[in-house]
Amino acid sequence: MLKKILMSVLLICGMLAVTGCGEQAADGPRKEGDYQKIKLVMSVNGTNIATDTKVAMKFAELVEQESGGNITVDVFPNDQLAGGNASKGIEMIADGAVDLAAYAAGVMAVMDEHLLIATIPWTFNNYQEAREIIDTTGGEYYKKILAQQGMTFLASAHNGFRQITNGKHPVLKPEDVAGLKIRVPGGEVYFKFWRAFGADPVAMSWSEAFTAIQQGTIDGQENGFSVTNSAKVNEIQQYMTVWNYTYENYLFVANTKIFDSLEPKTQELIRAKAKEACEWGRDLVENDEENLRKKFEQGGMEVIVLSPEQLKPFQDKVQGVRQELMEKYGDEACRAFRMK
Q: How confident is the model at residue 187 (pLDDT cuts 50, 70, 90)?
A: confident
Distance CA 165, CA 296 (A): 11
Q: Is the pLDDT of residue 19 over 70?
A: no
Query: How high is the pLDDT of residue 29?
Result: 62
DSSP secondary-structure letter at 154?
Answer: E
The radius of gyration computed from the CA coordinates of the chain, to the nearest angstrom, equals 20
Q: Is 201 helix (H, G, I), strand (E, B) or coil?
A: strand
CATH fold label, 10-23+36-336: D-Maltodextrin-Binding Protein; domain 2 (3.40.190)
Q: How confident is the model at residue 3 (pLDDT cuts 50, 70, 90)?
A: very low
Q: Any residues with CB less than 8 A from the CB of 209 and at least 6 apart, and which?
A: 183, 218, 221, 231, 233
Mean pLDDT of 165-193: 94
Strand ranges (DSSP E) for 167-278? 181-184, 200-203, 220-221, 239-255
Q: Is the pLDDT of residue 1 over 50?
A: no
C-beta pairs of 112-115 under 8 Å, 24+ apart in sequence = 112/145, 112/148, 112/149, 113/187, 113/188, 113/329, 114/145, 114/329, 114/333, 115/142, 115/145, 115/146, 115/251
Query: How high is the pLDDT of residue 162?
Result: 94
* Lowest-confidence segment of 26-30, 129-133, 144-148, 220-224 by average pLDDT: 26-30
Distance CA 113, CA 110 (A): 6
Q: Are 102 and 44 in contact (CB under 8 A)?
A: yes
Mean pLDDT of 311-335: 96
Distance CA 151, CA 153 (A): 6
Query: How high is the pLDDT of residue 23?
Result: 64
DSSP secondary-structure letter at 164?
Answer: E
Q: Is 122 helix (H, G, I), strand (E, B) or coil?
A: coil
Q: How confident is the model at residue 125 (pLDDT cuts 50, 70, 90)?
A: confident
Mean pLDDT of 73-79: 97
Tens-digit pLDDT profile for residues 213-255: 999 999 999 999 988 998 999 999 999 999 999 999 999 999 9
Residue 49 or 209, more confident: 209
Distance CA 146, CA 202 (A): 26
Distance CA 159, CA 223 (A): 8
Mean pLDDT of 49-62: 96
Distance CA 122, CA 323 (A): 12
Tens-digit pLDDT profile for residues 151-172: 999 999 999 999 999 999 999 9
Q: Is the pLDDT of residue 7 over 50?
A: no
Q: Considering the chain, what percentage of its residues have pLDDT values greater than 70? A: 91
Mean pLDDT of 97-117: 94
What is the average pLDDT value for the chain, to the nearest integer? Answer: 91
Tens-digit pLDDT profile for residues 260-279: 999 999 999 999 999 999 99
Q: Is the pLDDT of residue 113 over 50?
A: yes
Tens-digit pLDDT profile for residues 298-314: 999 999 999 999 999 99
Query: How high is the pLDDT of residue 261?
Result: 98
Q: Is the pLDDT of residue 8 over 50?
A: no
Query: How high is the pLDDT of residue 217?
Result: 97
Q: Is the pLDDT of residue 5 over 60?
A: no
Q: Is the pLDDT of residue 10 over 60?
A: no
Give, in order, the Cα–Cα distances in Å from 56 to each of 27, 218, 244, 262.
25, 30, 25, 19
Q: How confident is the model at residue 185 (pLDDT cuts 50, 70, 90)?
A: confident
Q: Is the pLDDT of residue 57 over 90?
A: yes
Q: What's CA 253's distance to the chain center, in Å?
A: 11
Distance CA 119, CA 199 (A): 18
Complete DSSP assignment for 48-70: TTSHHHHHHHHHHHHHHHHTTTS
Q: How confident is the model at residue 28 (pLDDT cuts 50, 70, 90)?
A: low
Q: Is 156 helix (H, G, I), strand (E, B) or coil?
A: strand
Strand ranges (DSSP E) for the chain? 23-24, 38-44, 71-76, 100-104, 151-166, 181-184, 200-203, 220-221, 239-255, 302-305
